[in-house]
Structure 1
Amino acid sequence: MNGLNSEAFVLFDQHILWSDMIGNVLGLIALALGWRRSLWTWPVQFLSGLILFGAFFGHLTGSAGKQTVVMAVALYGWWQWNRMKGRAEDGGDGQIAPRFATWRERGAMVAAAAVGTVAVALLFKAYPTLSWDPWPDAYIFVGTIVAMYAQARGMVEFWFAWLLVDLVGVPLNFANGYAFSGFVYVIYGALVLWGMRDWWLRSRNGARPILEGAPV
Structure 2
Amino acid sequence: MNWLTSEAFTVFGQDIKWFDMIGNILGLIALALGWRRSVWTWPVQFLAGLTLFGAFYGHLTGMAGKQAVVMLVALFGWWQWSRGKGQAADGHISVRFAGWRERGAMIAAAAAGTVAVALLFKAYPSLSWDPWPDAYIFVGTLVAMYAQARGMVEFWFAWLLVDLVGVPLSFANDYAFSGFVYVIYGALVLWGMRDWWLRSRTTAPTLEGAHA
Instruction: Specify the SS of the correspondent of 2:5.
Output: coil
Check whether the contact 2:4–2:17 (CA below 8 A) recurs between aligned residues.
yes
Counterpart amino acid of residue 75 in structure 2:
L
Match of 1:168 in 2: 165
Check whether the contact 2:86–2:205 (CA below 8 A) recurs between aligned residues.
no
Mapped partners of 2:101, 2:205: distance in 1: 16
Mapped partners of 2:28, 2:85: distance in 1: 22
Match of 2:208 in 1: 212
Match of 1:109 in 2: 106
Q: How many angstroms does 1:213 deviate by?
A: 4.5
Q: How many angstroms does 1:62 deviate by?
A: 0.1
Q: How many angstroms does 1:85 deviate by?
A: 4.3
Match of 1:125 in 2: 122
Structure 1: unaligned runs, 5 residues or longer: none
Q: How many angstroms does 1:102 deviate by?
A: 0.2
Match of 2:47 in 1: 47
Structure 2: unaligned runs, 5 residues or longer: none
Match of 1:100 in 2: 97
Mapped partners of 1:165, 1:14: distance in 2: 22
Distance 1:80 1:97, change over 3 A: same
Mapped partners of 1:82, 1:61: distance in 2: 31
Mapped partners of 2:151, 2:48: distance in 1: 21
Check whether the contact 1:84–1:210 (CA below 8 A) recurs between aligned residues.
no
Q: How many angstroms does 1:106 deviate by?
A: 0.1
* Equivalent pairs, count: 211
Instruction: Specify the SS of the correspondent of 1:4.
Output: helix
Percent identity (aligned): 82
Residue 31 (structure 2) pairs with residue 62 (structure 1): no
Match of 1:80 in 2: 80
Q: How many angstroms does 1:94 deviate by?
A: 1.5
Q: CA RMSD in A?
A: 1.3
Instruction: Specify the SS of the correspondent of 1:132.
Output: coil
Mapped partners of 2:11, 2:183: distance in 1: 15
Mapped partners of 2:94, 2:86: distance in 1: 7
Check whether the contact 1:86–1:93 (CA below 8 A) recurs between aligned residues.
no
Q: TM-score, normalised on structure 1? A: 0.95
What CA deviation, in whole Å up to 9, does each residue of 1:97-150 have, x standing for no partner? 010000000000000000000000000000000000100000000000000000
What CA deviation, in whole Å up to 9, does each residue of 1:71-101 have, x standing for no partner? 00000000001114455xxx72221101000
Match of 1:152 in 2: 149
Match of 2:189 in 1: 192
Check whether the contact 2:86–2:207 (CA below 8 A) recurs between aligned residues.
no
Q: TM-score, normalised on structure 2? A: 0.96
